[in-house]
Amino acid sequence: MTRSSFPPKGEIAASPARHLGHEEAAIFETFVVPRYLSFFGERLVEMLAAGRDARVCHVQCRTGYPDRLLVERLPNVHVHGSDASPHAIELARAKAAALVKGGGSVAFDYRVADALPLAFPAGAFSHAFTIHPLAAPQERRLLLEELARIVAPRGQALIAMPLRGSFVEIADLLRECALKHELVDLTNAVEAAMQLRPTDELLERELEAVGFEYVDVDVRTRTLKFAGGRGFFEDPVTRLLLMPEFRVNLALDAASSPAPVDPFDYVRDAIDKYWSDGTFEMTVNVGVVSGRRK
């Protein structure tokens, strides 16, 4: 593997959002939401400050989850969501129409948006949140600044994402691959990628730095189970949410990396080898941080 395959120390690759296609949006809603994203969404909704007639902005909303939970938690809520994928927004709108028909004074407005700042005025919302954004610090900082901009004084912002220590099993197998094949750059890339993911203390400081106070952090450890290496890589959670981020954070590009082995082929085969008689389990440190606008 050449030295140019990975970014130099101190640099971080750009992290473009994952755009869901038409079929991917349906798969995401059907499989990824209940199997994985619910780890984050259920706890985030529990931490929402209760109130009537709330105006909520869901940034990077994908297919709208946790839309139904918001309606249950916040009577007469008005939800505004944005995402880069037109197909995800289309599905979110279809689900919203069904919720509105269910009665009450709830309202939804989902828009396609692929850049910040969003087309909302400052201080427009009582609540704003995002679930499972990409981990790179620059993008996260911009996202937190946008939450601070659109939340009204005394309003609440929340961010839910995997914290440092998540996916350690994959990192360990990538390190093993690097050691066996003498891929020094891969070793460095894995260590750098693990540090990209924030700790709970770091996420708390970041929210305070953009103007929030009364910050509350909740961390819970969950596990995802897979039937072997092929089961891991074919699972919709891995394909649609985890692998795009893994590759970006590791700066892996199969088309331009002349390595003697594809690191993720190695991971697949290693899972099959080490967990041949059982189920492969992967650790997820589910973090939710909440703050109130000054």
For residue 66, pLDDT beyond 60? yes
At residue 85, φ and ψ (nearest 5 deg) are -95, 115
Query: Who wins on pLDDT, 90 or 261?
Result: 90
CATH number of the domain within which 23 lies: 3.40.50.150
Q: What pLDDT, on the 0 to 100 scale, is given for residue 252?
A: 66
For residue 140, pLDDT beyond 50? yes
Residue range(s) defining the domain that contains residue 46: 3-293
Q: Is 27 helix (H, G, I), strand (E, B) or coil?
A: helix
Burial zone of 227 (CB within 10 Å; 0-12 exposed, 13-18 middle, 19+ buried): middle
Mean pLDDT on 164-192: 96
Q: Which helix (H) or strand (E) is 83 found in, with range?
A: strand 78-83
At residue 209, φ and ψ (nearest 5 deg) are -65, -25
For residue 9, pLDDT beyond 50? no
> CA nearest 11: which of 137, 112, 134?
137
For residue 98, pLDDT beyond 80? yes
Q: pTM (2 decimals)? A: 0.90
- The number of distinct structural domains making up the chain is 1
